[in-house]
Amino acid sequence: EPVEEMKKKAGEKAVEYIEDGMTLGLGSGSTVYWTIKKIGNLVQQGMNVKGIPTSLRTQRWAKEFGIPLTNFSDVELLDVTIDGADEFTSQLDLLKGGGGSLVREKMVAEASSKVIIVVDKAKKVETLGKRPVPVEVIPFGWERTAKKIRRIHGIPQLRKISESDIFISDNGNYIFDCEFNSITNPEYLHKQLKSMCGVVETGLFINMADIILIGEEAHVSHIR
Ligand code: DER
């Protein structure tokens, strides 16, 4: 499976940025899975790190691989966060949230000295927003929040796990996947969405990544 190979290469490459004694942000998704698995190997070999997981799924992986966990009561600033993305640009802007973990991912990323993103090359875009923008909203008044998103020319689609079951985030909220025609200014769109009562967070991660590791056929390239 060539794409899985590219994800694995990029994911494993990220551990080069981890040093003994660091506190880590542990991202979510199938690419950073390989990073978490490799960190587990290093912990077995005696490396001393602690991590804050960005989803219950990542928390389960960390426990499975023996990575000690910590939290924001014990740690104020994280040394390095490693996470995935759904889209990235040459400006290092990201679209995230495909896995529904965007709120904790953004909280952990902004608490980190360095943010490393691991992707396969298919995630590269000229401008963000080929895919819908995930927006986490509180369930109360979601109909009104949807209307406000339509007013700024978005098409909000309530994320579901089946015909009858609405997706519920780890924080107990709903997610709208919002189609926007072309996003000329992602930072401005992010601010418009964040100003709406009912919106918790958006999947627009602007100016947050320090390094993007890109899995290709035979190697891992990077932009910083
Ligand atoms: O939800 C996210 O932002 C995750 O990082 C995820 O979407 C990354 O996707 P992946 O499973 O292709 O790594």
pTM for the whole thing?
0.97
Whether residue 40 has its Cβ less than 6 Å from ligand 1: no
The minimum-distance atom of ligand 1 relative to the CA of 119 is 13
Predicted confidence (pLDDT) per residue in 135-158, tens digit: 999 999 999 999 999 999 999 999
Non-local CB neighbours of 210 within 8 Å, separated by 6+ positions: 92, 114, 115, 116, 224
The best mutation among 3, 6, 12, 28 to test binding of ligand 1, ranked by most ligand atoms within 8 Å of the C-beta, falls on: 28
Residue bearing the CA closest to ligand 1, atom 7: 98
- The rounded percent of the chain whose pLDDT value lies above 70 is 100
How far is 44 from 58, CA to CA, in rounded Å?
A: 18
How far is 74 from 31, CA to CA, in rounded Å?
A: 27
How far is 17 from 140, CA to CA, in rounded Å?
A: 41
Residue 153, number of CB atoms within 10 A of its CB: 11
pLDDT band for 15, please (50, 70, 90 cuts): very high
ipTM above 0.85, yes or no: yes
pLDDT band for 181, please (50, 70, 90 cuts): confident
CA contacts within 13 A on the Cβ side of 139: 9
Whether residue 11 has its Cβ less than 6 Å from ligand 1: no
How far is 115 from 189, CA to CA, in rounded Å?
A: 22
Predicted confidence (pLDDT) per residue in 86-113, tens digit: 999 999 999 999 999 999 999 999 999 9
CA-CA-CA-CA dihedral for 27, 28, 29, 32, to nearest 10: 20
**Region of residue 212 (phi > 0: left; psi between -120 and 50: alpha; otherwise: beta):** beta
